[in-house]
Structure 1
C-alpha cells in the first residue's frame, strides 16, 4: 500500500501554502514564528518577504510568535474595516489610555462619532470615572480581564488583552465588550408589561361590577338617574378606556391585517376623518403624496392606523400657535419602507420635553392622560414600523416608517 501523497493531494497542499503565503504578505506586520520542530518563519520588517529556515533552536512544547511592529497604526487601519462587522464593542488604547481604534458598533451604541473619539482618552468615550474603566485597570495592574461582568451605566461582559513591545512594555490594550443594555431594557419592559397587565385586570373587574350596579340603580331612582348616567358611569368608562390604552402599550396586539393601498388609505379612508376634524378647528389639511408611493401597498389594520393619525391630529390642534394651523401629510418611498410625515406649523415641542413625548402618562395638558402618543408608537411597532419626532419653533414633524407589502394586489 502506497502511503505517499497523490498528485491531487500535492496540488491541494501547494495551493493552500500559496494562499497562506499571500495572506501573510498582506498583513501589515513583521513577525518571527518559532515552530517546535526547529523551523523559524519570519517576515522581514524592511523587505516584507517571508523567510523560512532550519534552526538549532531547542524545540519547545508550544510554538511562539513575536511581533516587531512598534507602530500599530498600519495594523489598526487594516483591522478597522474588518472589526466594523463585529456586533460588539472593540476598542484599542495605548499605554496612556488614548483610543487608537474604535469599531463602528461601539460608536453607535455610545452615541459618538468615531472620528471624533480617536485620539481622545477612553474616559471621553465611556463617560464614567477612571476607576470604573476595566481597560485602564489592565494598564495599571498589567492584568487581563476574562468575562468580567460590568454593572455601570453600560451593562455587559468585558475582556481585555495586553499587547507588549519587544522590551516588554505595554503597547496596546484591547477591550472587547458584549453590550447588554438593549437586552436588559427589553427584559425590564417585558416584566413591566406582565405586571401592568395583572394590575389592569384586577382594577377592571371591580369597575365592571360598579358600573353594572349603577346602571341597575339608575332605573329605580329618577332623581339619581342624571348623576349615574351623566357623571358616574362616564367616569368609570373613562377609567376603563385608560386601562385599555395602557394595556395596548404593555401587551402586543393580536389583530388581523389587510393589504392597504397607501394612496387610497391616506386620501380616501383617512382623509375624510382628518378633514372633518380639521374643518371643525379651522385648520388646513394638505396631502403631498410622492408619485412612487401611490401604487404601493402595506399590511396594516386600518382602524388602528386611523387611531394613530387622529392622535397626531389632536396633538397638532392643541399646539396651534398665533398663525393659522396648516397640517401636511407627506409620503416618500425609502428602500422597502413607506415613509409618512405628519407635519404642522404649530408652537413646537420644547427640546427638554422632546425625549419624553412617547413615555406613557407624560403630558403637558391638564386633561390629557399622556397615553395617546405612547399608544400610537406601539401600534406602529406592531406594524413592524418605527415612529419618531422632531420639533422646533417652526412646528413639529412626526415620521412613520412601515415596511412595504410584497403583495401589491
Structure 2
C-alpha cells in the first residue's frame, strides 16, 4: 500500500470531522467555527488543510500548529495499527472509529470520529471530511465498569465459598468451581434450573426456601441466614446464606448472587465448646450437690432407724422419706441432664419452671456462700421457644458467677418481665451485689480465654452469649465496681 493511499485511509484523524471547503464558502463555515467537536478536512495524502477552533479546547493546539501536518502522526501507535488492521474506510466511504490523539501537553485523549471520503466524478479521492468528539469521560467510565466486572468475575471464580448467579427469572445462569467442589453437581446439571428446583435443597426446607427467595428479591442485600443444604452424596451441611443484587449498566437489577458458606465445622466446634463448658459447670457443682443430697439421706437414715425400733406411726415417716427421695431424684436428674450431650432442639417452654429447676440445683451452693436467691416474676409470662438444656446452662453460669462475685454473701435477684421496649420479647435479669466488673474488663467480655478467675477458661460468657444468639435473643451487661452487676437477656416469645 502506497503512503498516499494508506494515509488517505487513515486521514480520518480520531479528532476530526471534516467539512468541505465548498460548504464553508457557501456560508456554512459558522458550523465548523463554533462546533464543540473538532472538524477537519485533509488531502488524500493525509495532510490537514483545515481544522476548527475547537482543537484548542480539546487538544491544546492552535489551528495553525495542526494545519499542514499529517493527522495520523498525532495518533497513539497502537491505534494506527488497529486502524489499518480493521480496514477502516476500506469497504465504505463512511466509517466511525475510536482512537487516542496526543494532546499538546503529551498525554493522549480518546476521540470517537466519523469520517467520510469525498470523491470526484471519476471516483478519485478528493478530500476526507471528519468530525471527532472527546469521549475520554465515557472511556473512563467504560474502563471503570470493565474493571468492576473483572473484579466481580474474579470474586466469583476464585471465591472459596460456593456462589450461584441467578437471572431475573430466578434461574441459575452460572456458578463457581467451589459450588461444584462442595456439592458435587456439574454445570450441565445445575445451570438453567430454577432456584427452588435445585437438588441441594432438602424437600422439607422448600417452604423456607420460598420465603428466603421472596426476601432476597425484596431487599438489596440478604445476609446471615443459617440453614442446611445437602451434597450429591447425601451428606448434610450447615450453611450461612447471603445474597446481593447485581445491576447492569443502566443501574437496574438484572439478577442476584447467592453465597452459601459452609459453616459445618464451625457449628461442630461451637457445639463441642458448649458441651465442654457444660461438663465443666457440672463438675464445679458436684461439691454443692453432694451437700444437697447428704441432707435428705441423713433424714431417711434416721427414719429407717426409728422404724426399726418398732415405732407404730410409720405412714408419716414413709411420706417424708418418699418426699426426700423425690428431691434427690430431681437434683440428680438435673445434674445428669446438664452433663449429657444433647442435640440442639427447641420446644415451647415456661421459663419460670426452668428457672425454678435451676435455683433448686444452686440453692445449696448459694447457702454455703451465704447468698440468697430472690425471684421476682411477672404473673403472666408467655412461653418461649428454646432448647431447655442450653438455656439452663446459661442461667446456671450467670448465677454461679454472681455467687462467686460475692465472697462475703449477699442477694441475687432474678427478674422476669413480660413487658419491655419490645412487646414480642421477655426480659430476664440477673442482679447481684458483688464486686462489679471494671470498665476495661467489661469491654473484653466474650473474648475466648480472657478471664479474671484463677481457674477460669474465659469460655463461659462467650458460650452463654452464643447460646442466647442462637435463640435469636440479645444480651447486655451493666456493671459498676463495688456495687454489683446486672446481666440483661432479651428472648423472643412464641405465639
Same fold at TM > 0.5: no
TM-score relative to the length of structure 2 = 0.32
TM-score by length of 1: 0.38
